[in-house]
Amino acid sequence: MSILENIKMAFSSLLAHKMRSILTMLGIIIGVGSVITVVAIGQGGEAVLKSQFTGDSNTIELFYQPSDEEIEQDSGILFEDAFTSEDIHLIEDLPEVEKVVTTSSESADISYRRDNADSMVMGINQSYIDVQGMDIDRGRNLMASDFLGEGRVAVVSENVQEELFDDKEKDILGKIVYVGGQPVEVVGVMNSEDDLFGLSSSTFYIPINTWQSIFSKTSITEVSIKANNPDELQTAGEKATDMLNKVHETDEAYQVLNMEEIAEGIGKVTNIMTIIISSIAGVSLLVGGIGVMNIMLVSVTERTREIGVRMSLGATRGQIMFQFLIEAIALTMIGGLIGMGLGTSVALIVSSIAGWPPLISWPVIVGGILFSVFIGVVFGLLPANKASRLDPIDSLRYE
């Protein structure tokens, strides 16, 4: 008797009790569906979190963190003066380094006529534009001439408009705004960012020279490096910090902010979450499996006569066992497939609402279906075994 024959038989007997079959599958459907949903959402969220933290510009950030002893020796250490223009030139000269992105930031009072607001003012260099890019909605980006000539121009984030103007209709583009008491022309407005946390504050981007002259400071707050070869990013960062530590005669004060570690950390957290929720879903699968076993036991009892007839017609105990096992597996596998469809759709809907990349994980889908088959085998064995051990004579007489 072929497997195909068995499968056909299993389906016809499942179809004979549609409602019961569907209800029995429900536990498996929910279990598999939720595992797939949770993992897909978890992975999508993780990818978004990682890109939010690390960006996709393929850069590595340097930071200054003097040791406790160094702070003790020189209590006047200024963190914001950690990087000088000379430092930047030195880093730029390293062979592995393609570009050095610098930003200096200062919170400042912004005013236009009678309206004023607090805003972050970022002094950026040309490389910042080259590497990070700027998503300009209207107006223009900062240009090379602005950087060379200490241009009094600014690109602003979308929300500056709302914060500065009571009248939302007015366009900030082209207006002269006072930043830290000095006039700056708004030449460009950025697109509002898709921000996961909605924390983006209103920001002015102005050329670094302009920034230094407005705030009378030379400090550079943030430095990141883009390497010629993305694989050498870590090496380039380490070389730069080694050099800075040497130049500034510090021990380990200049360090590389390792994004890989941060990304790994995020991965760990989301993994733990995924495992926790998946195990809850796993419990649902287990309960679903017990439901399958229960219904299969009922089915064996109901079909005692059928089993007797089949045995009298020449079915071996093995064939009877196989028939019921296939039936249990068919139940859980169909449940698994429906659960997969359901889980995938829910994951797609959630990711499209949240604006995340839809990350349907094939290993999880295949694993989920295989696991539901496994559950069918495990929880089908007992009923199938019971069916195969029936006595044909008693079974034929069973009422």
For residue 162, state whether it binds another protein (rule: CB under 8 A): no
Identify which range of 67-75, 226-234, 312-320, 370-378 contacts another protein by CB under 8 A. 312-320
Distances (CA, A) of 264 to 46, 47, 93, 213, 260: 10, 11, 31, 40, 6
Q: What is the 3-state secondary structure (H, E, C) of 23-36?
A: HHHHHHHHHHHHHH
- Would you say 133 or 318 has its CB closer to another protein? 318
Q: How far is the CB of 323 from another protein (least distance, A)?
A: 11
- Would you say 80 or 306 has its CB closer to another protein? 306
- Would you say 15 or 199 has its CB closer to another protein? 15
DSSP 141: -
Residue found by looking up tokens 């596998």 in the block: 333
Pick from 92, 163, 238, 306: which binds another protein (CB under 8 A)? Answer: 306
Q: How far is the CB of 393 from another protein (least distance, A)?
A: 5
Pick from 265, 305, 345, 354: which binds another protein (CB under 8 A)? Answer: 305
For residue 138, state whether it binds another protein (rule: CB under 8 A): no
Structural tokens at position 54:
């690390």
For residue 393, state whether it binds another protein (rule: CB under 8 A): yes
- Would you say 172 or 307 has its CB closer to another protein? 307
**Residue 385: closest CA among 324, 298, 302:** 324
For residue 239, state whether it binds another protein (rule: CB under 8 A): no
Pick from 301, 319, 361, 385: which binds another protein (CB under 8 A)? Answer: 319
Biggest CA-to-CA distance, the chain: 103
- Would you say 243 or 309 has its CB closer to another protein? 309
Q: How far is the CB of 307 from another protein (least distance, A)?
A: 11
**Angle, CA of 22, 330 and 315, to the nearest 5°:** 120
With a CB cutoff of 8 Å and minimum separation 6, the contacts of 116 are 109, 110, 164
Q: How far is the CB of 306 from another protein (least distance, A)?
A: 6
For residue 392, state whether it binds another protein (rule: CB under 8 A): yes
Pick from 310, 325, 335, 336: which binds another protein (CB under 8 A)? Answer: 310
Q: How far is the CB of 9 from another protein (least distance, A)?
A: 9
Q: How far is the CB of 396 from another protein (least distance, A)?
A: 7
For residue 312, state whether it binds another protein (rule: CB under 8 A): yes
Distances (CA, A) of 62 to 25, 51, 185, 260, 295: 55, 18, 31, 14, 63
**Angle, CA of 223, 226 and 228, to the nearest 5°:** 150
Q: How far is the CB of 295 from another protein (least distance, A)?
A: 17
Radius of gyration of the chain (CA): 33
164 with 152: CB under 8 angstroms? no
Number of residues lying near another protein (CB under 8 A): 23
Residues of span 2-41 touching another protein by CB under 8 A: 2, 5, 12-13, 16
- Would you say 36 or 320 has its CB closer to another protein? 320
For residue 270, state whether it binds another protein (rule: CB under 8 A): no
**Residue 385: closest CA among 293, 291, 306:** 293
With a CB cutoff of 8 Å and minimum separation 6, the contacts of 272 are none
For residue 317, state whether it binds another protein (rule: CB under 8 A): yes
Identify which range of 49-57, 103-111, 185-193, 315-323 contacts another protein by CB under 8 A. 315-323
Pick from 195, 313, 353, 363: which binds another protein (CB under 8 A)? Answer: 313
3-state secondary structure of 358: coil
3-state secondary structure of 287: helix
Pick from 315, 321, 331, 375: which binds another protein (CB under 8 A)? Answer: 315
d(CA 143, CA 140): 8
Count of C-beta atoms within a 10 Å radius of residue 11: 15
- Residue 65: φ, ψ to 5°: -140, 90
d(CA 165, CA 353): 31
Identify which range of 45-53, 169-177, 233-241, 309-317 contacts another protein by CB under 8 A. 309-317
DSSP 78: -
**30: left (phi > 0), else alpha (psi -120 to 50), else beta?**
alpha
For residue 61, state whether it binds another protein (rule: CB under 8 A): no
Residues that bind another protein (CB under 8 A): 1-2, 5, 12-13, 16, 305-306, 308-319, 392-393, 396
